A and B are shown apart, each in its own frame.
With several copies, the nearest count.
Chain A
Amino acid sequence: MINKVVSGADEAIRDIAEGDTLMLGGFGLCGIPENCINALVKKGVKELTCISNNAGIDDFGIGLLLKTRQVKKMISSYVGENSEFERQLLSGELEVELIPQGTLATRCLAAGYGMPAIFTPAGVGTEVAEGKETRSFNGKEYLMEYAFEADFALVKAWKGDTAGNLIFRSTSRNFNPVMATAGKITIAEVEHLVEAGELDPDQIHTPGVYVHRIFQGEHYEKRIEKRTVRPKE
């Protein structure tokens, strides 16, 4: 196998440069690449375009990159949990492109599957359709949407092996596998890094061929955005 292990987040993101386009996995704060984000803050690289379903909260996730003004543009489906985000958006410091969540996921899929464009009905007849090509199939109208291009995809998995194979846990899977397939360079941080051969080949969610660098993350906070519980019976 091909060994993809790097020493840590700093080495993994070493060549992310000003103006790069990044994909960041996660849904809300669930399954986000915490270590990579912290390393990006430390590195201070600016003018980033971030493709991510959400934009974190003020003091966690992509919110940290917003606070340090490293993000030029967000491409997301929902960004509502972040007051610093709102301030920068309203002041014009931050560019935002809102796209339907399924379109976001499928444009990642398209990149990973080598399909230059896909058709989706999401957004037909709305402002999302403005300037886009539409086309009818079997009497239903679809928008043509293009595959994303990202310089780097940053994903977070539960387990990974030295060959770059990834396994995700529960709903922290979300956008991570499709983004992992879509980056020109894909960086995976994992909670548990194991030797090649320790994972069952049948259970791997992301084959190692899609992962260029992998490292064991540290100090996972895994914050909960909306803690909802019921009393013990």
Chain B
Amino acid sequence: MLDKDGIARRIAKEIKDGYYVNLGIGIPTLVANYIPANLQVVLQSENGLLGMGPFPFEGEEDADLINAGKQTITTLPGSSIFDSALSFGMIRSQKIDLTILGAMEVSENGDIANWKIPGKMVKGMGGAMDLVASAKNIIVAMQHINKAGESKLLPKCTLPLTGVKCIKKVVTELAVLDILPEGGFKLLERAPGVSVAYIRSATLGKLYASDDVPEMQLD
């Protein structure tokens, strides 16, 4: 079973040379730590920055330079700044190659719910609805089962949706799964030490899995 950093490490392997990537809040943010140094990759922050760098050194924080999670950050050589309209313009026009974000639930037809729990204070969808509706390539980083032990990979989402039929890949503490165009989760890789049977038991949505699904390589 993977911890959060393990999920981030596995997702980082999906990032290809020359990608522009948008990382959501939570586990996705950790992915930045595992992008191989030899790849040319640019991180977009939807508040208006391409080329997000690491956190600033202590004492060098700049209140005018934050990411979409409102954290102080830095720029890199080649960074560019733009306004919110152009930022979502490039998202809608699919200039961002890969979007990684968290989810509360994902369904077997690719729907995602990650912004609202009825009865709880609703904080808002931020940029998530724009990202999932527009991105050509979305990976969801999430826990396979919630704290009550229930599957979050479902036949149908129970929570209010963020987007429909948009998710193509899910990485959890247990597995890497594709969502098939015709519906259903296809098990691609098992987390180290996790059995297909266990993944099957933890997946409420339709699961396609051969018995010889390989174990993830995290190197």
Contacts and interface: CB of A to CB of B under 8 A. Distances in A.
Do chains A and B interact in one complex? yes
Interface of A: 1-3, 27-31, 53, 76-80, 86, 89-90, 98, 100-106, 108-109, 111-115, 120-128, 158, 161-163, 165, 168-178, 181, 195-197, 201-202, 204-205, 207-210, 222-233
A232 B59 CA distance: 9
Contacts of A113: 85-86, 88-89, 92-93
Given A113-B86, A223-B63, 17 more contacts: A30-B47, A80-B124, A101-B84, A101-B125, A101-B127, A102-B88, A114-B94, A120-B92, A123-B129, A125-B164, A165-B78, A171-B66, A178-B84, A181-B93, A195-B77, A201-B80, A231-B57
Interface residues of B, number: 74
B142 to A, nearest CB: 18
Interface string B134-174: 10000000000000000000000000111111000000000
Nearest to A113: B89
Ordered nearest first, which 5 A-B pairs have the shortest CB separation?
A114-B92, A197-B77, A196-B78, A102-B88, A80-B123
A115 B165 CA distance: 20
Interface string B45-84: 1111111001111111111111111111101111111111
A78 B124 contact: yes
Contacts of B18: 2
Contacts of B130: 100-103, 120, 122
